[in-house]
Amino acid sequence: MNREDTINLSKGKIFMTEFNSKIKTIEWVDNYSKMVDQTLVPYEFKYVNITTGDEMFDAIKTMIVRGAPAIGVAGAHGVVLYAQELAKENLSRDEFVSKLLEKSDYMASARPTAVNLMWAVKKQKEIIENSTSDIAGIVEELKQNGIKLEKEDVEINKKIGDYGAEVVPEGATILTHCNAGALATVGYGTALGVVRSAFAKDPTIQVFADETRPRQQGARITTLELTMDGIPTTLITDGMCSYFMKKGMIDMVVVGADRIAANGDTANKIGTYTVAIAAKYHNVPFYIAAPLSTIDRSIKSGDEIVIEERSREEVTHINGKIICAPEVNVINPGFDVTPHELITGIITEKGILRPDYNKSIAEAFEKERVLL
Ligand code: MRU
């Protein structure tokens, strides 16, 4: 598609001119964090500069930045922002450390389900606790670590993509749910990383993208990313997946993850579980694509994963317009947990993990590479 193209809709225009999948979703610049405002996609493509820790907390909570790996990096940047602020307060080193640890815990609580946020903040806390530097030195170490996590994310996603491409059948139609793409990470994506690597080898593959209600990340973000890369994409609504599976039109499912328990149970965007059940029934392979930082070995099963409850307005409204009886009851869990029995494989940067997941996940943390 021509980068200057705009797509006319009945209501307004979608501006696609600035987006390409090589952009960085989030990036540390000098002394602030610069990120794409994902609440505006696909209507506007705009960067926002996040200059304080509290602004970062809000950016994560309100989903200006979203997607498990992206909010991990955002959390790490948020700790640097708090460190910069506290460094100006004339505190003793001990006071600085104790206040920064408190602020770090607060940052980690911005959203409860994606473990990458807690994981990245924990990495920063290890620096705060173990550093022997003075206050300025700690701030610098945290900054360098934030930048390192940013860089590693893209490298990891490319590895996930390349391993995943090996299990994509020739000419496959791949179903995905939500957005596990460049915008859910620093770049390239996890599930969409698999699609990108597979497409580079075999341009006859195509994607079916679930709309992903209530926030429509599949429609708003995934279709934008894929069409800008020239990857044939068909948008469907969430309830349609079994219809197309029955017709034999879906060859595999690849989705991202927000938290994976030690036994392989996987939390991802609400609706993923339904797709996995439909895939099992129709004998369609169902893969998770995620970095090892999404695996939470401290929990035995998905029953222990905290599911984020989001606002009623996300369900009752679309684009600011109410779509239901105003007083109706609403429940809005942001994620569900797909039981490990429904998962064909977990594609990681160390290879593809297969059942028994308790065993293969443990191995992945011990070995450089696991069998495909
Ligand atoms: O609520 P979101 O948009 O942050 O949820 C995102 C998802 O569920 C993604 O599938 C998951 O984070 C994986 S992103 C590589």
Contact 136, 87 (CB under 8 A): yes
Contact 272, 286 (CB under 8 A): no
Query: Given phi > 0 = left and psi -120 to 50 = alpha, else beta, which region is 178?
Result: left
The CA distance from 98 to 96, in Å, is 6
For residue 69, how far is its CA from the centre of ligand 1 (angstroms)?
A: 8
pLDDT tops 90 at residue 368: no
Amino acid at 308: E
| 45 confidence band (pLDDT: 50, 70, 90) | confident
pLDDT, tens digit (0-9, with 9 covering 90-100), for 303-344? 999 999 999 999 999 989 999 999 999 999 999 999 999 999
Distance CA 133, CA 159 (A): 34
Ligand 1 atom nearest to CA at 38? 3
Q: What is the CA radius of gyration of the chain?
A: 20
Evaluate whether 181 touches 191 at the Cβ level (below 8 Å).
Answer: yes
pLDDT over 70 for what percent of the chain?
94
How many A from CA of 272 to the centre of ligand 1? 11
- Protein residue closest via CA to atom 15 of ligand 1: 180
Determine whether the shortest distance from the Cβ of 118 to ligand 1 is under 6 A: no
The answer, yes or no, to whether any atom of ligand 1 lies below 6 A from the CB of 258, is: yes
If one residue of 64, 73, 217 were mutated to test the ligand 1 pocket, choosing by the most ligand atoms within 8 A of its CB, it would be 217
- Residue 193, ligand 1, Cβ within 6 A: no
User: Is 45 in contact with 17 (CB distance < 8 Å)?
Assistant: yes
Which residue of the set 258, 265, 296, 336 is catalytic? 258
- Residue 9's pLDDT is what? 41
Distance of CA 371 to the CA centre of its chain: 25
Cα 83 vs. chain centroid, distance in angstroms? 25
Measured from the CB, is residue 68 less than 6 Å from ligand 1? yes
Is 258 a known active-site residue?
Answer: yes
Before 356, cis peptide (omega within 30)? Answer: yes
Q: What share of the chain is helix, strand, coil (3-state, %, to 5)?
A: 45, 20, 40
Sheet holding 47-50, edge to edge: 26-29, 32-36, 47-50
β-bridge mates for residue 175, sequence order: 208, 253
List, for residues 149-195, the tens digit of each pLDDT value.
999 999 999 999 999 999 999 999 999 999 999 999 999 999 999 99
**Least confident residue range of 15-29, 104-118, 214-228, 317-331:** 15-29
44 pLDDT band, cuts 50/70/90, is: confident
Task: Note the pLDDT of residue 16.
Answer: 55
Q: What is the pLDDT of residues 122-153, one digit of tens each?
A: 999 999 999 999 999 999 999 999 999 999 99
Examine the pLDDT at 20 and tell me if it is beyond 90. no
